[in-house]
Amino acid sequence: MVNKYNNNYLTNVIVRIDFSDELQIHDKLPSDLTKSILKFFPIPEPKKLVGRTIKISPEKKVEMEGDDLVKTEWNYYGQNRNKRLVLDPSFLSITYKKYESFEQLKSEFIEIIAKLYDVFGEDINTSRLGLRYINEISLDETNPLDWDKYLNKNLLSAFSFPKDKSSISRIFNKIILNYGDEILHFNYGMHNPDYPAPIKKKLFVLDYDAYHEGYQEFDELEYYLKSCHEIIENIFEESITDALRGVMNDGRL
């Protein structure tokens, strides 16, 4: 997950900021904002989204109101499509399929958000800033349920409960941790891509989703982003053993 490892098991890294009031984005983005986005995400693919307002009456009758609502979701991709930026009137997110470093993520995100603030100014009211790291640890070993060597044993207690281990089809757990300013949702276990068949593949998920809720000034965003990253990094290190660290460093600690 961090720069000290030569390899990682990250499949998705996501940074996202939500707005309590929708931005007044119409058919074309301001040129200065577009230029900032294209610097890191040179492939634009905007999408038209269609929806209608749903009204539920006191009698629980569902009705569709008004004409079809059409808005543009602005999608931009990196050169090799390994990263994607989405700008919607209610949020901005960046997803990395190939993660290089937190410094790269922070640099790209902050530079684009800075331009967003330049363009929309006081119209931006943030409601949430989130950072998520999804690790899928896949190992080519014969016993798919034996993780004692690689993971903190406290994460594996549910594995010892069923008498017939061969019947286990999925084991997934969730811990929510409150750090005051930030909340962490930690999902972990064997989701099993072959579910509901019994587990055959040695694939363990460590999914860390940290966020700060509430209004934030632009000058506070980098602080909370770093704080979320530090929380995730610390819990990740608590989740793994030196054996897995060695695997991620090509056999060297």
DSSP readout, 100-124? --HHHHHHHHHHHHHHHHHHHGGG-
- pTM exceeds 0.85 for this model: yes
* Pair of tokens at residue 205: 């998920």
pLDDT bucket at 229, cuts 50 / 70 / 90? very high
What are the pLDDT digits (tens) for 67-76? 566 678 999 9
Q: Crossing angle for the helix pair 218-239 and 102-120, nearest 10 degrees? A: 160
What are the pLDDT digits (tens) for 136-190? 999 999 999 999 999 999 999 999 999 999 999 999 999 999 999 999 999 999 9
Domain boundaries along the sequence of the chain: 10-46+79-248
Q: What are phi and psi of 169, to 5 degrees?
A: -105, -30
Radius of gyration of the chain (CA): 21
Residue 26 has a pLDDT of 73
CB-based contact 120:23 (threshold 8 Å): yes
Mean pLDDT, rounded, of the chain: 91
60-64, 148-152, 177-181, 236-240: least confident range: 60-64
